[in-house]
């Protein structure tokens, strides 16, 4: 029996990898603004919501922007991103993702999704796994992005499970910080040195073992 009653997953980098689509969309937008954008810059956007990512990019620009201009640029990036993810399919699920979700379901745990992506519902539909979640947080209803714990606390509240009885799964430093701030147990996906705040770290969901946490 697991000591948890719910598992709350992040989406990007955990269940699927839409990072390449975000990268291409942000790169095109940054370069239209005269900002050099590469893989190293992209790493700083990991786990950060759309407007937060845009602010980081525009901080390297030589000009200032009004709020209206920022919103227009964010929409431009999102439209390009949506064009790119239309090609997604169940083949884009990361190894072990479905098995991990099914393991949680078999164990009787509730399953939530806490992604700051406003396209999470579209991505889940393209992957064919939307029905595997008891609750998916609508990022549009979240006032503060990660590392603020709001999104994880909302998932726990809607799942009707105390935060202390939730396992959060994240691949980003900001996401792990959000899980810990929410009072949950954090399972990191990726590099143990990078995700040092996590309670445990595994390379990917192919190594997910509910009995070990």
| Active-site residue set | 10, 12
* Closest CA relative to residue 8, chosen from 139, 184, 147, 138: 184
Spatial CB neighbours of 153, under 8 Å, sequence gap ≥ 6:
163, 182
Which residue ranges make up the annotated binding site? Answer: 10-12, 26, 45-50, 53, 77, 115-119, 146, 170-171
Contact 153, 161 (CB under 8 A): no
> Which DSSP string do the residues of 114-153 spell out, in sequence order?
----TTHHHHHHHHT-GGG-SEE--GGG-SS-TTSTHHHH
Q: Show the tokens assigned to 161.
A: 């499970």
**Annotation: binding site for Mg(2+):** 10, 12, 170-171
């Amino acid at each position: 029996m697991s000591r948890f009653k719910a598992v709350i997953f992040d989406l990007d980098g955990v269940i699927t990898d839409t990072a390449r689509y975000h990268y291409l969309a942000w790169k095109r937008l940054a370069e239209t603004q005269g900002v050099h954008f590469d893989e190293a810059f992209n790493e700083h956007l990991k786990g950060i919501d759309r407007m937060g990512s845009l602010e980081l990019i525009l901080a390297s620009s030589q000009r200032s922007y009004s709020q209206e201009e920022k919103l227009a640029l964010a929409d431009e990036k999102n439209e390009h991103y949506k064009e790119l993810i239309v090609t997604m399919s169940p083949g884009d699920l990361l190894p072990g993702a479905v098995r991990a979700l099914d393991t949680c379901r078999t164990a009787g745990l509730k399953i939530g999704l806490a992604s700051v992506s406003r396209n999470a519902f579209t991505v889940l539909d393209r992957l064919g796994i939307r029905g595997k979640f008891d609750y998916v947080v609508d990022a549009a209803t979240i006032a503060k992005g990660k590392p603020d714990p709001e999104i994880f606390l909302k998932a726990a509240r809607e799942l009707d499970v105390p935060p202390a009885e939730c396992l959060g799964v994240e691949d980003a430093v900001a996401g792990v910080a959000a899980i810990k701030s929410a009072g949950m147990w954090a399972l990191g996906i990726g590099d143990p040195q990078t995700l040092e705040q996590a309670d445990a770290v595994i390379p990917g969901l192919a190594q997910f073992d509910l009995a070990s946490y």
